[in-house]
């Protein structure tokens, strides 16, 4: 068998693995009602866990070979666009949800998953750990990133949707903009007979808070990695806003015929020209309504929110602080809000001349921090990385850029 036929004969598979933090690693192949392995077309960005079920979603984070095509130098750059089109996996506006009963994760090698479909793209979601009335119900709290190809970034050759101008070079590599407003949702899945879904979507666009709904946080007395909350009450989200510099012709064309459109496409482009600010908002999970919000100033992005409980406070979902990253026109900052009064703006802003970072994503808060004791055993954590950077020939980095990068990595990792 040639290496090509081996490649082509690969079967679809998804395994759930369970590790008890010792030597025991168990795994089960997830199959559909016909006994066929389930197929993930985009990616599985998150896993949800409830008292009775595992929730797997083929999330709208469409990742494939195309993501390896990035800013080729000339003459390879001539092939960038055609290759990008040829290898593209465009996000599906539908979400396939796979639900695995935890009680079935036993001696069998294969486990059948229930399947339900939910409309409008999901990348991030939260599940309630239990349902007060029924063991057969699951509650999903979702951000629907409508017409937002979240796995894309600005690349050389991209043109702005408005005016067909080139993307400013300093923005290459930045998250691409959305082509519709995101919507917040809550979905109760009932597995008691035939799987069904009861959905609530907030389509009240009055305040325009949800352009590019991204990352979330909430108050939890449990540390990260422990049991989720039985029922989510208040969820804090940040949104990217709508930026003319991030709305590309490539995305405009991709979403010309988007079937769940809320804001007409040309209006999106007009709104982007005017600019819509990034937001931090608090959502009441059950009613899917906005309770409080803060709009960042024009030119600012609020990102990576993290709930930090008030010292000596309660488990109330608003008794604490929201710490988030604020990218300002001048620098990276960390802003702290009173979680109960977002509209009053940050109670504290922090920055330092040496605090300068790129895009941040998910966060965690730990009540205590201590040395893991492992660093002295692991040696140079950057082992091999310098060589890789030196040899990465398709990079748009200059020799000097590479030396600077290596020096910065060494400083952070080996001389903290
Ligand atoms: Fe994520």
> pLDDT for 151-180, tens place per residue?
999 988 889 998 889 988 888 888 999 999
- The reported pLDDT for the residue numbered 341 is 98
**Residue 127: strand pairing partners:** 140
Average pLDDT on 238-246 reads 96
The 8-class DSSP code of residue 38 comes to P
- Residue 357: is its pLDDT beyond 50? yes
| Cα(243)–Cα(251) distance, integer angstroms | 13
Calculate ∠ Cα 353-359-362, nearest 5°: 110
> pLDDT for 263-283, tens place per residue?
999 999 999 999 999 999 999
Q: Are 140 and 189 in contact (CB under 8 A)?
A: yes
Ligand 1 centroid from CA 234, angstroms: 19
> pLDDT for 175-218, tens place per residue?
999 999 999 999 999 999 888 999 999 988 888 999 999 899 99
| Cα(152)–Cα(242) distance, integer angstroms | 16
pTM score, two decimals? 0.88
| Cα(103)–Cα(176) distance, integer angstroms | 41
Query: Where along the chain do its domains lie?
Result: 8-368, 370-416
Ligand 1 centroid from CA 380, angstroms: 28
> pLDDT for 94-133, tens place per residue?
999 999 999 999 888 999 999 999 999 999 999 999 987 7
Ligand 1 centroid from CA 2, angstroms: 38
- The reported pLDDT for the residue numbered 203 is 87
Q: How confident is the model at residue 394 (pLDDT cuts 50, 70, 90)?
A: low
Exposure letters 218-251 (e unless 16+ CB within 10 A, then b): bbbeeeeeeebbeebbbbbbbbbbbbbebbbbbb
User: 169: Cβ–Cβ under 8 A, 6 or more apart, which residues?
Assistant: none
Ligand 1 centroid from CA 73, angstroms: 30
| Cα(118)–Cα(138) distance, integer angstroms | 13
Ligand 1 centroid from CA 398, angstroms: 30
- The reported pLDDT for the residue numbered 1 is 38
Ligand 1 centroid from CA 173, angstroms: 17
Query: End-to-end alpha-carbon separation of the chain, Å?
Result: 50
Ligand 1 centroid from CA 45, angstroms: 6
Ligand 1 centroid from CA 321, angstroms: 21
């Amino acid at each position: 068998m040639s290496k090509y036929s081996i490649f082509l004969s690969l079967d679809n598979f998804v395994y759930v693995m369970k590790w008890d933090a010792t030597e025991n690693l168990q795994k089960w192949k997830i199959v559909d009602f016909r006994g066929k392995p389930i197929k993930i077309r985009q990616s599985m960005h998150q896993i949800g866990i409830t008292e009775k079920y595992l929730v797997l979603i083929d999330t709208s984070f469409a990742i494939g070979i195309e993501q390896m095509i990035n800013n080729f130098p000339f003459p390879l750059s001539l092939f960038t666009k055609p290759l990008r089109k040829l290898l593209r996996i465009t996000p599906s506006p539908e979400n396939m949800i796979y639900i695995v009963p935890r009680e079935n994760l036993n001696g069998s090698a294969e486990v059948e998953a229930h399947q339900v479909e939910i409309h409008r793209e999901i990348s991030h979601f939260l599940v309630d750990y239990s349902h007060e009335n029924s063991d057969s119900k699951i509650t999903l709290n979702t951000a629907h990133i409508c017409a937002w190809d979240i796995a894309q970034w600005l690349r050389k050759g991209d043109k702005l949707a408005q005016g067909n101008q080139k993307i400013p070079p300093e923005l290459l590599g930045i998250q691409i903009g959305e082509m519709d407003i995101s919507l917040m949702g809550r979905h109760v899945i009932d597995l008691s007979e035939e799987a069904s879904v009861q959905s609530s979507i907030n389509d009240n666009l009055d305040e325009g808070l949800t352009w590019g709904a991204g990352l979330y946080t909430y108050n939890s007395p449990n540390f990260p990695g422990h049991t989720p909350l039985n029922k989510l009450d208040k969820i804090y989200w940040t949104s990217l806003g709508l930026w003319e510099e991030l709305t590309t012709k490539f995305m405009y064309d991709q979403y010309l015929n988007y079937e769940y459109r809320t804001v007409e496409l040309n209006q999106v482009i007009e709104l982007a020209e005017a600019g819509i600010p990034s937001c931090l908002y608090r959502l009441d999970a059950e009613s899917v309504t906005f309770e409080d919000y803060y709009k960042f100033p024009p030119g600012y992005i609020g990102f990576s929110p993290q709930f930090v409980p008030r010292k000596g406070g309660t488990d109330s979902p608003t008794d604490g602080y929201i710490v988030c990253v604020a990218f300002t026109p001048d620098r990276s900052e960390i802003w702290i809000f009173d979680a109960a009064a977002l509209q009053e703006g940050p109670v504290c802003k922090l920055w330092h001349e040496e605090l300068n970072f790129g895009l941040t994503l998910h966060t965690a808060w730990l009540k205590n921090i201590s040395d893991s004791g492992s660093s002295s055993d692991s040696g140079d954590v950057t082992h091999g990385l310098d060589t890789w950077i030196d040899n990465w020939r398709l990079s748009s980095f200059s020799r000097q850029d590479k030396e600077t990068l290596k020096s910065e990595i060494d400083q952070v990792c080996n001389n903290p």
